[in-house]
Structure 1
């Protein structure tokens, strides 16, 4: 009886320890580049607090604008430096191909850190449903 109780406690502890080790996966959804500076700062803060977090930024519509070559914030600061720093920390940036086509934007205009997905909204959904990502909308 004592042995069974010990094994039950040991099992419960190992399950709890496994839950504590669960990978943190987050998708940041940006569909308006006027929020890009705040979003990038939030992501940087997130990475500082949780360096092992797996973060994917999905953009569509006007949200892709900060990932275009020579894009600058309202103060004239280029986005490319912060995007590159975050990408160096394994943050991924994904851009909606539907948006590129609808707006006649060449893929060559994207920052090199950005990758293209067929649909931004479908990518947000896929990451949540199929891969268990938490959703953040800055």
Structure 2
């Protein structure tokens, strides 16, 4: 009579091997598909204007090297500050011009509604070139996991 534990182990190993093969095939198919289109990147800003300034410089450099890149900038927590009306960088320049220029080049800017609510900031304080999303963290995760965006936190 066959050993029941051995039979279960064989079944589990066969199932695991089949699952691994399926994942490998899916990964290879996705890599082949993704390499034909533009790179998709989400820049996640959470630490305020210093990080935002670095991110905007990174986005400009990114587009200079790869103008076809599809870029989304998501801000939550202190990372929304640069996307508010009258926000200025360390040199006193308003972020609105830089954000508007990048938005004109196809960059999407998204602001966390949870942060707005928690900080009691009205949506009308958000720059016109930015949209709001229910949760910045969920937005960044969804873009990365479900839509295949590379994640960058400058």
TM-based fold match above 0.5: yes
Counterpart in 2 of 1:108?
Answer: 124
Q: CA RMSD in A?
A: 1.5
Give the TM-score of the pair, scaled to structure 1. Answer: 0.85
Task: Give deviations 1:80-126, integer Å, cap 9, x for gaps.
Answer: 11100000000000000000000000000010011000000000110
Picking from 30, 53, 62, the partner of 2:45 is 30
Unaligned runs of 5+ in 1: 1-15
Match of 1:77 in 2: 93
Q: Given the two structures, how large is their TM-score scaled by the length of structure 2?
A: 0.76
Give the counterpart of 1:21 among 33, 36, 43: 36
Deviates more, 1:21-30 or 1:89-98: 21-30
Superposed counterparts of 1:44-59, under 5 Å = 44-59=60-75
Confirm or deny that 1:68 pairs with 2:55.
no
Aligned pair count? 123
Say whether 1:131 aligns with 2:147. Answer: yes
Larger radius of gyration: 2
Structure 2 CA distance, aligned partners of 1:68 and 1:18?
Answer: 37
Matched, 1:87 2:85: no
Structure 2: give runs of 5+ residues left out of the alignment: 1-30
